[in-house]
Amino acid sequence: MAKIVYSMAGEGRGHATRVRAMVEELSADHRLILYAPGDAHDLLEPAYRDTEVEVRPHSCLRFHYVENRLDPSRTVWESANYLRRVPGLLRRLRRDLERDKPDLVISDFEPALPRAARRVGIPFLSLDHQHFLLVNDLSGLPTALRARAWLWGQAVRLYFSGQVETVVSSFFTAPIRAPWRGRTTPVATLLRPEVLRAERRRDGHLALYLRKFSSPALFAALKACGRTVHIYGLGEKADDGPLRFHAIDQARFLEHLATGDALISTAGNQVVGEALYLGKPVLAMPETDNHEQYINAHFLRQLGVGDWVELAGIKPSDLTGFLGRLDEFRGRSDPTVFNGNPAALAVVRRHLTAPVRPVPVPLLAAP
């Protein structure tokens, strides 16, 4: 039995959902310690309370929003404040690693634990979605989006370096850039057990997930579409015609997703990938100024299994047009290709059985 220490970002639930998919596959044979901040801790700590999986609270970087928009300058400012706290955080993590003596460290886009692992000579994997901005060839993107992807890719580069392998989980594929070939493994969406077991039906309703914000235009379009819509992310409130507002509940959301005709959602990689695995076309609505989500939306349309539209400007015709193409989207989709669990697990197990090897020279000097 190996010991694995696993850290993750805490913004949204995508990171924690990916981690949970891996933990459920690994925990029967290995001891796992999770460092979970923010939203990730809220999701994982109750799930693993009174089990052999230990969940520890952790500090994290956060995105900041102002008036329904991602605020890049405030996010960068708060990131700088976080980085000022990093030295003390690294000292604590280093003591933890020296005490726990793990065989492997894994990070889902969390920068502190990999740095601590490097300082004590423990090999670590990067397993996330965001590294696609750095390792994938995105030259096919529209010019403005390609420029944004390059800029955010440089930010990803600063998170950490020296991983023994980079695993990128995405519902889409793109070529690996030459400098990263041979040390990067692309995998599809990492799926939690409930998704793998879900009963798929088409009962006529729609599932809708928003992280924080909505718009009057969206509600008008939803009311005009002639279907019941189960809405998550805006809190529980009274029904509004065909609109049903639910509190965040992973199990209930999954039930409505698996038995619905389609998903309408922000363009997060994880929720889109889960919907496509369940055979549900997706209408994505990228969050304003969230360029990662705009790139996800671009690839969703390119795959031909869904489409995207601006949240603030959505019209009833956008929604009815999407619903009129559901058979077309389903006909282009093979749900089996969206399960990345076997490929990701193969990478983790390979590094657990391989002899410890020196950390490779990074592309940039380590912080």
Position 280 pLDDT exceeds 90? yes
Average pLDDT over residues 151-179: 93
What does the pLDDT average to over 247-253?
A: 92
Q: What pLDDT digit, counting tens, does each position of 19-30 carry? A: 999 999 999 999
Within 8 A by CB and 6+ apart from 279, the residues are 200, 330, 333, 335
Which residues, 6 or more positions from 207, have their beta carbon under 8 angstroms from its beta carbon? Answer: 229, 230, 232, 253, 256, 257, 260, 262, 263, 264, 265, 280
Collapsing DSSP to helix, strand or coil, 78 comes out as: helix
Work out the average pLDDT over 50-78: 72
Q: Which residues, 6+ apart, have CB-to-CB distance to 281 below 8 Å?
A: 262, 263, 275, 305, 306, 322, 325, 326, 329, 330, 333
Task: Say which residues have a Cβ less than 8 Å from residue 291's Cβ, sequence separation at least 6.
Answer: 145, 148, 149, 152
pLDDT tens figures, 7-60: 998 766 789 999 999 999 999 999 999 999 988 898 899 999 999 999 999 987
Give CA–CA dist 22/42, Å, rounded: 18
Q: Which CATH class is domain 194-338?
A: alpha beta
Mean pLDDT within 81-86: 72
Name the CATH code of domain 3-189+340-353 (choices 3.40.50.620, 3.40.50.300, 3.40.640.10, 3.40.50.2000). Answer: 3.40.50.2000
Longest dimension (CA), the chain: 61
Q: Which of 189, 232, 226, 225 is nearest to 207 (CA)?
A: 232
Asked if residue 357 has pLDDT above 90, the reply is no
CA distance 120 to 222: 54
The pLDDT assigned to 7 comes to: 96
pLDDT reported for residue 65: 55
- Burial (Cβ within 10 Å: 0-12, 13-18, ≥19) of residue 74: middle
* Domain ranges across the chain: 3-189+340-353, 194-338
Q: Residue 288: what pLDDT?
A: 82
Between 160 and 60, the more confident residue is 160
- Strand, coil or helix: 149: helix
Which of the four pLDDT bands, split at 50, 70 and 90, describes residue 312?
Answer: confident
| Pick from 80-89, 202-211, 302-311: least confident | 80-89
Query: How many residues are given for the chain?
Result: 367
Backbone angles phi, psi at 182, to 5 degrees: 90, -15
State how far the Cα of 18 lies from the Cα of 169, in Å rounded to an integer: 9
What is the mean pLDDT of the segment spanning 64-87?
Answer: 64
pLDDT at 114 over 80: yes
Query: Which tens digits make up the pLDDT trace of 262-272?
Result: 999 999 999 99
Average pLDDT taken over every residue of the chain: 90
Residue 282: band (very low, low, confident or very high) from pLDDT cuts 50, 70, 90: very high
pLDDT at 161 over 60: yes
Of 81-90, 164-173, 342-351, which gets the smallest average pLDDT?
81-90
Q: What is the pLDDT of residue 59?
A: 81
How large is the average pLDDT for residues 164-182?
96
